[in-house]
A = this chain, B = another copy of it.
């Protein structure tokens, strides 16, 4: 069924030159008259000849490809990370091999396949930021970047969102709006992100001289149902709380729906801030949720740029946390019109965790 692809010989025949001359003309090396070079290019164009990347890769001992291993099912976290990686690699000649690995066996098989293809580098991304095992390169030395993923290996480069700083940003904002009795409703404590966000919450209270109360931090499922349950409990406390910082937008949505149905006004009586900026949830809630955005697109883009540097250059290591931003909508009481972004102060790019 398949028409055989046009070869360098076809181009040589049409241009009336040797195969070697075609190669020189199309690859831009050697000494040729401009007229000859043009004749070859015209012939290649007329025939629709595409220089065979495979052959070029063999010649240059580079494949101009990058492997992308995702341990997420392309969920809402890895989507923006993937987009960011692509935006960094697109201007280069590099193509991306996509590998989804739900388990170590499949990951190992993918890595072997990528190494056999002589990829120039590998990016690993995940669905949560807790430490995972490093990919096993079996002695090969291609550069690897972990993006929204973390390993214990001190030689590895890992890029993570600054969960602690993001939480600090949210709670500082609530305090700046005059809120003083602030609760925190968040996900399961076995997530590192939960522990870091809780630390950021405490940092902000401490910096403002406010006392955190034990009963004001509630952990449970990443769900609207848990948000509703937690809000019912918090609404009964006296003295009354005046703000809730939530560990996710789904929790924040449950909190807000429940408060509204109980007759508690958001943001007038209780201000609420979420985390994720998952806009299908955050923008659809009544009122729309002010929330922390992890800047995952930018995190992916940085991962791509760092990998490009590492292919030809030195290989940095360590865990770097990239800044989050606060997207202000209506639930915090600061804005009633369009949304606005708040960035952390004194944060010029990445810093170590």
Contacts and interface: CB of A to CB of B under 8 A. Distances in A.
A263 interface: no
Interface string A24-60: 0000000000000000000000001011111101100
A95 interface: yes
A338 interface: no
A95 B74 contact: no
A106 B90 CA distance: 10
A115 interface: yes
Interface string A212-255: 00000000000111000000000000000000000000100000
A83 B100 contact: yes
Contacts of A142: 2
Interface in A101-138: 106, 112-113, 115-118, 138
A265 to B, nearest CB: 16
Nearest to A98: B98
Contact of A74 (B68, B83, B139, B250): B83
A207 interface: no
A221 to B, nearest CB: 11
A352 interface: no
Contacts of A54: 54, 57-58, 63, 117-118
Interface residues of A, number: 52
A262 interface: no
Contacts of A117: 53-54, 95
A64 to B, nearest CB: 9
Given A53-B117, A142-B2, A83 B73 contact: yes
A96 B97 contact: yes
Given A51-B116, A73-B79, A116-B50, A5 B140 contact: yes
A82 interface: yes
A163 interface: no
A3 interface: yes
Nearest to A50: B116
A4 to B, nearest CB: 9
A68 to B, nearest CB: 7
A75 B48 CA distance: 34
Given A52-B116, A74-B79, A141 B314 contact: no
Given A74-B82, A90-B106, 12 more contacts: A1-B141, A1-B313, A48-B139, A54-B54, A54-B118, A68-B98, A74-B79, A75-B79, A83-B100, A86-B100, A95-B113, A96-B97
Interface of A: 1-3, 5, 48, 50-55, 57-58, 63, 65, 68, 73-75, 79, 82-83, 86, 90, 95-100, 106, 112-113, 115-118, 138-142, 223-225, 250, 280-281, 284, 313-315
30 contacts: A1-B141, A1-B313, A1-B314, A1-B315, A2-B141, A2-B142, A3-B140, A5-B140, A48-B138, A48-B140, A50-B112, A50-B116, A52-B58, A52-B116, A53-B116, A54-B54, A54-B57, A54-B117, A58-B58, A65-B97, A73-B83, A74-B83, A75-B79, A79-B79, A90-B106, A96-B99, A97-B97, A224-B284, A250-B284, A280-B281
